[in-house]
Amino acid sequence: MSRLRYMLPSSQSLFVFEAAARNLNFKRAAEELNVTQPSISHGIKALEDYCEVALFVRENRGVKLTEAGLLLYDSVRSGFDGIESSFQAITSNDTKYITVAASTSLAAHWLVPTLSVFQRHNPGIKIKIVTTDRDIEPDHQVDMTIWIRPREFKRTNSWYMCGEVIYPVCTQSYLASAPSIRSINDLTNHRLIHSSDPYRERMGWSEWLEIFGAESINVQPDLVLNDYQLAIQEALSGAGILLGWALTTNLLRSNKVLVAPLKEECHTDNAFFVIAHERNSKQEETKLLVEWIVEGAKASERT
């Protein structure tokens, strides 16, 4: 009989620890496991007391793993992945999907059209797209995801897609009914839309103007939305001008649905990356999909 059962306060403590360590956030771990945050804190404290070692360092803005926590997390993740693979091998022969996570706006305006073409060329590969309002780690449910990170970002099983480029966009119908725009200064006469996502920090109008030396222009967005996809929809309705991210607006521009009223565009120090779970990154189908996503993003960057 395994001695492990005598080395843990309960088997559930491993699931609590794994979720907390992966998210580095007790609140997110609680949401994932459908329990209260105090339950997560109590479970971690019980495990630490049982092991007589600190597994997390508590900080004002979250938690981080201690050396002991990192050692345990590596073992737990490896063990969970192995158990999951075994269950998949011995259970039903259901259709296997490659699951890709992304923001709603990226999924709607770039990923879905891109992967539709991919599947026409690779009809045997099944894909599931899930949208999320925050960056998540690839795990036993998500095979790959897309993040924005500094250009120098390096990580195993990560691939550079394209740079982050930001510029104003609106509809042609809005321009036809609004004051003319000859320069950045003319933005003061227009209705501006801004997205303030709670989990993904986005550049605001003041920051964008400052980059082009126009920080003296006093502009405040007329409408602030907490979801970039909602902001895109508002711009598509002809309601005003939005700061758009190239990867999510290039297709809309090429289809003449949105236009760029100014020539200025900001190339930031960030970039888009596709991140794959180490379990799947070497599988042939996943490699094909990663290559397609990377090439598609680079092609979009060149347009």
Classify strands 192-195 and 241-245 as parallel, antiparallel or unpaired: parallel
User: What pLDDT does residue 50 have?
Assistant: 87
Average pLDDT over residues 181-203: 89
Q: Are 115 and 145 in contact (CB under 8 A)?
A: no
* 29 in Cβ contact with 16 (< 8 Å): yes
State the alpha helices, DSSP H only, in 201-260: 205-211, 228-236, 246-254
Q: What is the pLDDT of residues 110-130, one digit of tens each?
A: 999 999 999 999 988 999 999
pLDDT at 62 over 80: no
> What's the pLDDT score for residue 198?
78
Tell me what pLDDT residue 6 has. Answer: 64
- CATH numbers and ranges of domains, the chain: 3-90 (1.10.10.10), 97-162+270-302 (3.40.190.10), 164-267 (3.40.190.10)
Query: Is 88 strand, coil or helix?
Result: helix
> What pLDDT sits at residue 89?
59
Q: What is the mean predicted confidence (pLDDT) over 199-213? A: 89
- Per-residue tokens: 296: 């598609």
Section 268-289 average pLDDT: 86
Confidence of residue 234 (pLDDT cuts 50, 70, 90): very high
pLDDT at position 291 is 94
Q: Is the pLDDT of residue 90 over 70?
A: no
Q: Quick one: CA dihedral 88, 94, 97, 102, positive or negative?
A: negative
For 93, phi then psi, to 5°, come to -95, 40
Give the type of residue at 89.
A
Distance CA 13, CA 212 (A): 52
- pLDDT band with cut points at 50, 70 and 90 for residue 254: very high
- Check residue 283 and report its DSSP letter: S
Q: Higher confidence at residue 26 or residue 303?
A: 26
Mean pLDDT of 216-235: 90
Task: Read off the pLDDT band of 251 (50, 70, 90).
Answer: very high
3-state secondary structure 230-244: HHHHHHHCCCCEEEE
Grade residue 1 by pLDDT with cuts at 50, 70 and 90: very low
Q: What is the mean pLDDT of the chain?
A: 88
Q: How confident is the model at residue 134 (pLDDT cuts 50, 70, 90)?
A: confident
pTM beyond 0.75: no
- 99-105 average pLDDT score: 94
